[in-house]
Amino acid sequence: MGMRRGYGQPFSPSEITPEAVFFNRRAFLQTAGIAAAGALLAACGPQQAATREAAETVTTSTETDELGNPVNAFDEITGYNNYYEFSTDKEAVSRLARDFVASPWEVEVAGLVHKPQRYAIDELLRRFPQEERIYRLRCVEAWSMVIPWQGFELASLLKEAEPMTSARYVGFTTLLDPEVMPGQSSSFYPWPYTEGLRLDEAMHRLTLLGTGLYGKPMPAQNGAPLRLVVPWKYGFKSIKAIVRIDLLETQPATLWNSVASNEYGFYANVNPGVDHPRWSQASERRIGELGRRETLLFNGYTEEVSGLYAGMDLRENF
Ligand SMILES: Nc1nc2c(c(=O)[nH]1)N[C@H]1C(S)=C(S)[C@@H](COP(=O)(O)O)O[C@H]1N2
Ligand SMILES: [Mo]
């Protein structure tokens, strides 16, 4: 499968007991107050645990998200990628990223914080307990997948750095290394890739720093060793291969917004009612399915996140 290992994951998938996965998810559902938990909990019972182990080898899973959508196959998630540092051809990314080495790796947390931090990736993985989160990913190009991530809440990392009261935004930066990321030789894009969130969005319990998927260390093409996962926003917000996280007073420049601010807003919340200037966002193509699905407001996470945007005009702040 071209899985790459050896960047210091503190556990191998076989060391995560199914029980641990089950209890983590149950705890998450309780705090998040997600409905339809009964169906999901049933899907996580002992029998499911066995299926899950099997999934490690057959690379599919019968797990679902909280809405009952099946997770995408491992090969779909790792074979169809947007990662312009490697290629604009989604099906070529996995091959071109095969030799990408995500170890050693350091992540800096800096800017408006009382305690700036520098973490080696192994240290990050040790310090913050990893849990599984099954999230929908909706690309601004109107395709989508359901992905079983591992990771930890960005909030726990930010809290450790103690943001100053003046901090209102968080900026993220991808590795800059044109020698290993051939796409960065193209001067069309303002490398390195950057993204940003409002601080309250960054602190939201759904906002994850992803460290793996399908019970395995993060594949290179999905953003090893550390990438953002913000499930209610278009996929381009979920920046890969993060080396810097900065707490900021003002809204940071972000790559896609700099390239075409009329097409890619800073907020980029999934919204079927606000079309991209060149295509409709009302529906989407779920990878692996025939036909189209209706796109859900905030990608189906309205109950959890709509409070972040109370009183805001979502058309103006697209
Ligand atoms: N550094 C970086 N991060 C990135 C991108 C990119 O080109 N470079 N593409 C984004 C887009 S458009 C999407 S849809 C998701 C795709 O994530 P996936 O390949 O893991 O599904 O990654 C996002 N993060
Ligand atoms: Mo995307």
163-191 tens-digit pLDDT? 999 999 999 999 999 999 999 999 999 99
**Helix H segments across the chain?**
18-32, 37-42, 46-58, 74-79, 93-96, 121-127, 154-161, 199-202, 255-259, 302-305
Distance of alpha carbon 182 from alpha carbon 87, whole angstroms: 8
Distance of alpha carbon 267 from alpha carbon 15, whole angstroms: 38
Ligand nearest to the CA of 184: 1
Q: Read off the pLDDT of residues 93-149 as tens digits, 9 standing for 90 and up.
A: 999 999 999 999 999 999 999 999 999 999 999 999 999 999 999 999 999 999 999
Binding site membership of 158 for ligand 1 (Cβ less than 6 Å): no
Q: At what angle do helices 46-58 and 18-32 cross, to 10 degrees?
A: 110
Binding site membership of 139 for ligand 1 (Cβ less than 6 Å): yes
Distance of alpha carbon 96 from alpha carbon 28, whole angstroms: 36
Binding site membership of 236 for ligand 1 (Cβ less than 6 Å): yes
When pLDDT is averaged across residues 17-39 and rounded to a whole number, the result is 37
pTM for the predicted model, two decimal places: 0.84
Show me where the domains of the chain are located.
13-252
Distance of alpha carbon 314 from alpha carbon 254, whole angstroms: 19
Q: Is 210 helix (H, G, I), strand (E, B) or coil?
A: strand
Second-level CATH architecture of 13-252? Alpha-Beta Complex (3.90)
Degrees to nearest 5, angle at CA 173 with 169 and 176: 165
From the list 93, 65, 96, 66, the residue with the least C-alpha distance to 81 is 93
| Ligand 2 ion: nearby residues, β-carbon < 5 Å | 82, 139, 235-236
CA dihedral 231, 236, 241, 242 (to 10 degrees): -80
- pLDDT > 80? residue 283: yes
Binding site membership of 239 for ligand 1 (Cβ less than 6 Å): yes
Q: Read off the pLDDT of residues 60-95 as tens digits, 9 standing for 90 and up.
A: 888 999 999 999 999 999 999 999 999 999 999 999
